[in-house]
């Protein structure tokens, strides 16, 4: 069975075609700059060279067509006809309180995703464009929606309600939803396997540290708290997002800097975070080299980030009454021994310590705590596409004749 995994962003489409017998992608790639000049498709058939194809992609509908054509191309494609695709799995960012698990897409589900668009105006509409485009081109192929928010729907009210009048929760659904759920769930499952235990017996803190960053407390297999909130802006300081700030700063800045609501939203999402503090870059690689050259603000941005992560870890240990494992994943978590060391330095009181030799690992699943540590620390590369493909497979295998 082959599953086409689609992740539509506002100006990009990432995709993989995964063979579920081996769980290995036959091809992966992306389209970027949709709707702008200079859009292009990158396709990497597994084991072959990447093909770069500049082309005009004005919208997601055309984007999906272009990808499916490329997958069938006689020179660099990996399938002969679209009939070889058995099912399609879509990443959908916001499922609100309605979607607590992945679902087979029907008109009712699409209406539900549309209804959640108010909470994720930049994300859910492109997700729906992708679903509709696939439906047009492959009307009989089953499609599944896998939600970023679903894994966090187990959070209790004490973790997800804000200190606002309760009516605002009832009227607008203003509460913590959390994101990166697919990633947190996946790396926690792998950590449990590596410990030869069941997730239902463990308390795990998962740190998804990429350009967007969030931390989750997973108690006995369930997300009980997470750092992102109503939107992905809350929580840790990130590449360009401020993370948590005193909400009174918002009206202050709007007045003093003469900003409208969309402008302050852009300011906090795109121009703040480590980019704003360093004044240099949103990429930790740039900050690490600038700090090594003595750039003080880059050093400060790194220090603030590590401090915030450490504070969240401490908070979640308290929330769960202990911890058995801490997991690092995503771009920074998987690739920066320096940042992992900085975060874990001082957590020895928990019963853990990083092993400097093991911590040299990059992009590979490995335990990095010292041998006798009672709290294990892991690096585990995330694989959201595989989770989407697995959920799609599990939901569709009942309805597809294999």
Active-site positions read 148
Q: Using the rule CB under 6 A, is 336 a contact of ligand AMP?
A: yes
Distance of alpha carbon 122 from alpha carbon 255, whole angstroms: 25
According to CB under 6 A, which one of 32, 61, 84, 283 is a site residue for ligand AMP? 283
Residues 6+ apart with CB under 8 A from 185: 151, 218, 223, 387
Q: Cite the beta strand spans of 210-316 per DSSP E.
A: 213-219, 222-226
**Least Cβ distance, residue 196 to ligand AMP (angstroms):** 28
Question: ∠ CA(180), CA(8), CA(221), 5° rounding?
Answer: 20
CB 382 within 8 A of CB 187: yes
Among 63, 112, 181, 331, binds ligand AMP (CB under 6 A): 331
Q: In the bound complex, what is the minimum distance in angstroms from residue 320's beta carbon to ligand AMP?
A: 25
Report the site for ligand AMP in 142-181 (rule: CB under 6 A).
Answer: none
| Closer Cβ to ligand AMP, 1 or 304, answer by number | 304
Is 102 or 214 the residue whose CB approaches ligand AMP more closely? Answer: 214
Under DSSP, the state recorded for 151 is G
The tokens for 159 are 């973790």
Q: 3-state class of 15 per DSSP? A: strand
**CB of 239 vs ligand AMP, minimal distance in Å:** 5
Alpha carbon 44 to its chain's center: 22
> Which listed residue (4, 160, 284, 328) binds ligand AMP by CB under 6 A?
284
- The nearest distance, CB 399 to ligand AMP, in angstroms, is 33
Give the tokens for residue 298: 């880059």
Q: Tell me the HSE value of 265 on the side-chain side, using a 13 A CA sphere.
A: 8
Cα(96)–Cα(384) distance, rounded to whole angstroms? 19
With the CA atoms of 118, 120, 121 and 125 taken in that order, what torsion angle do they form, in degrees rounded to the nearest 10?
A: -100
- In order, the DSSP letters of 300-368 are HHHHHHHHHHHHHHHHHHHHHTS-SEEEEEHHHHHH-HHHHHHHHTT-GGGT--B-TTGGG--SS-EE-
- CB of residue 99 to ligand AMP, shortest distance in Å: 24
User: Of all residues in this chain, which one has the CB nearest to ligand AMP in the complex?
Assistant: 331
DSSP of 88-129: EEEEES--TTT-SS-EE--HHHHHHHHHGGGT-TTTHHHHHH
Q: Residue 285 interacts with ligand AMP (CB under 6 A)?
A: yes
**Which of 211, 269, 299, 366 is the binder for ligand AMP (CB under 6 A)?**
211
Interface residue with ligand AMP among 95, 112, 210, 235 (CB under 6 A) is 210
Widest pairwise Cα distance in the chain: 63
Please identify, using beta-carbon distances, which residue of 284 and 328 lies nearer to ligand AMP. 284
Considering only 26, 116, 330, 375, the residue that binds ligand AMP (CB under 6 A) is 330
Q: Find the part of the chain contacting ligand AMP (CB under 6 A) among 86-94, 301-309, 327-335, 388-396.
A: 327-335
Residue 220 Cβ, how far from ligand AMP at the closest point, in Å?
Answer: 27
Taking the complex as a whole, how short is the minimal distance between the CB of residue 210 and ligand AMP, in angstroms?
2
Positions in 257-276 near ligand AMP (CB under 6 A) = none
Closest separation between CB of residue 19 and ligand AMP, Å? Answer: 24
C-beta closer to ligand AMP: residue 87 or 236: 236
Q: Which pair of structure tokens corresponds to residue 376?
A: 């294990």
**Residue number with CB closer to ligand AMP (178 or 210):** 210
Binding mask 35-74 for ligand AMP (x = CB under 6 A): ----------------------------------------
Residue from 187, 207, 332, 343 touching ligand AMP (CB under 6 A): that is: 332
Q: Residue 102 and residue 387: Cα distance in Å, rounded?
A: 10
- Applying CB under 6 A, the span of 72-80, 253-261, 283-291, 318-326 interacting with ligand AMP comes to 283-291
Within 232-261, the residues that bind ligand AMP by CB under 6 A are 239
Non-local CB neighbours of 357 within 8 Å, separated by 6+ positions: none
In the complex, which residues of this chain contact ligand AMP (CB under 6 A)? 210-211, 239, 283-285, 330-332, 335-336
């Amino acid at each position: 069975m082959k599953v086409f995994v689609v992740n539509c962003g506002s100006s990009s489409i990432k995709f993989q075609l995964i063979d579920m017998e081996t769980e290995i992608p036959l091809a992966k790639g992306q389209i970027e700059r949709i709707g702008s000049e200079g859009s292009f498709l990158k396709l990497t058939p597994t084991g072959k060279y990447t093909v770069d194809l500049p082309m005009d992609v004005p919208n997601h509908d055309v984007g999906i067509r272009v990808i499916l054509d490329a997958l069938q191309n006689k020179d660099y494609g990996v399938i002969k006809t679209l009939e070889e695709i058995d099912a399609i799995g879509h990443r959908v960012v916001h499922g609100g309180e309605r979607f607590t698990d992945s679902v087979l897409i029907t008109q009712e589900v699409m209406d539900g995703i549309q209804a959640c668009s108010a909470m994720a105006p930049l994300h859910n509409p492109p997700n729906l464009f992708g679903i509709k485009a696939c439906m047009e081109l492959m009307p009989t192929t089953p499609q599944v929606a896998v939600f970023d928010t679903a894994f966090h729907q187990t959070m209790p009210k004490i973790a997800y309600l804000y200190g606002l009048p309760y009516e605002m929760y009832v009227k607008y659904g203003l509460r913590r939803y959390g994101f990166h759920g697919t990633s947190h769930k996946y790396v926690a499952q792998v950590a449990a396997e590596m410990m030869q235990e069941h997730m239902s017996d463990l308390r795990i803190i998962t740190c998804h540290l990429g350009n967007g960053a969030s931390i989750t407390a997973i108690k006995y297999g369930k997300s009980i708290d997470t750092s992102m909130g109503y939107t992905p802006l809350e929580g840790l300081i990130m590449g360009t997002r401020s993370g948590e700030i005193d909400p009174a700063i918002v009206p202050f800045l709007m007045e003093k800097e003469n900003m409208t609501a969309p402008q302050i939203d852009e300011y906090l999402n795109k121009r703040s975070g480590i980019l704003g503090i360093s004044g240099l870059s949103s990429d930790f690689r740039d900050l690490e080299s600038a700090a090594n050259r003595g750039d003080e603000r880059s050093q400060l941005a790194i220090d603030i980030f590590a401090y915030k992560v450490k504070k969240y870890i401490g908070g979640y240990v308290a929330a769960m009454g202990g911890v058995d494992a801490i997991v690092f994943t995503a771009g920074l978590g998987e690739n920066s021994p320096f940042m992992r060391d900085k975060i874990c330095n001082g957590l020895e009181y928990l019963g853990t310590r990083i092993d400097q030799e093991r911590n040299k690992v990059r992009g590979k699943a490995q335990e990095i705590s010292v041998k006798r540590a009672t709290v294990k620390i892991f690096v585990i590369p995330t694989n959201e596409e595989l989770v989407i493909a697995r959920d799609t497979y599990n939901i569709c295998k009942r309805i597809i004749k294999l």
